[in-house]
Amino acid sequence: MAAVASVRCRIRSFNNGHRMTEENSLSDGNHGHDVWAIWKPGWHRLDQSIEVGQLARFWFFPLDESRDLECRLRFFNTTSSVETPSEVRLARIVAIRHPELGALSRIDADWLDYTFVGADGTEYLVNADEEPGTLYTALEPIKNWECEVLLRDVSEPLSDIV
């Protein structure tokens, strides 16, 4: 498995402070404003499943502004305390990239084995329970499962979450 160079997580722009909803996010002129986010697994079915093209409400941890990253969002998982601040934003997933697997089309985190699906359709089954992060078919182990996710039409934090 050849290593693929990782894209540096970055913010291209925010959406001019406009709050978007599912109804107006595609029609209010905020197309093309891309934001990079980090998806880092907590394993044990604690993570959000994501897929390229998906428009949904996602939970995020805001990243510490003092960190030397250009990326300001990290997908929420329940490995942290419920007291850790989090926020919900509406966003569309445009791309998912893993530093070794390359471009992905989806990450299914709904089971005790996660499935990382490559852009070419290749499925990588990863243990998420007894030996978290163990790729069943790899000759060499993958130690870093952190992915970069390109988001578009990202809303301000939503306050009407039920």
Residue-wise pLDDT tens digits, 31-73: 447 899 999 999 999 999 999 999 999 999 876 665 555 677 8
Give the range of the structural domain holding residue 115, as residue numbers without chain letter.
34-152
User: Over 80: is that where the pLDDT of 93 sits?
Assistant: yes
Q: Quick check: is 145 in a domain? A: yes
Name which of 4-8, 85-89, 95-99 the model is least confident about: 4-8
Say how far apart CA 124 and CA 149 lie, in whole Å: 18
Can you tell me the mean pLDDT for 127-138? 92
Whether 158 is covered by a domain: the verdict is no
Q: Tell me which of 23-32, 74-83, 90-99, 136-145 is least confident.
A: 23-32
Residue 10 lies in a domain: no
90, 158 Cβ separation under 8 angstroms: yes
User: In this structure, are residues 100 and 144 in contact, taking their beta carbons and an 8 Å threshold?
Assistant: yes
The answer to whether residue 68 is domain-embedded is yes
Task: Examine residue 28 and state whether it is found in any structural domain, yes or no.
Answer: no
- For residue 58, how many other CB atoms are within 10 A of its CB? 21
Give the whole-angstrom CA distance, residue 124 versus residue 136.
8
| pLDDT single digits (tens) 1-42 | 444 333 344 333 333 333 333 333 333 334 447 899 999 999
What distance in Å separates the CA atoms of residue 60 and residue 51, rounded to the nearest whole number?
16
Examine residue 14 and state whether it is found in any structural domain, yes or no: no
pLDDT at 18: 30
Mean pLDDT of the chain: 78
Integer Cα distance of 46 and 82 in angstroms: 13
Question: Residue 82: pLDDT above 70?
Answer: no
The verdict on residue 19 lying in a domain is no
The CA distance from 5 to 7, in Å, is 7
102-108 vs 50-51, strand pairing mode: antiparallel
Amino acid at 155: S
Greater confidence, 20 or 118?
118
- Sign of the alpha-carbon torsion through 21, 23, 27, 31: positive
Q: Total structural domains in the chain?
A: 1
Residue 59: inside a domain, yes or no? yes
What does the CA dihedral 76, 79, 80, 81 come to, rounded to 10 degrees?
120
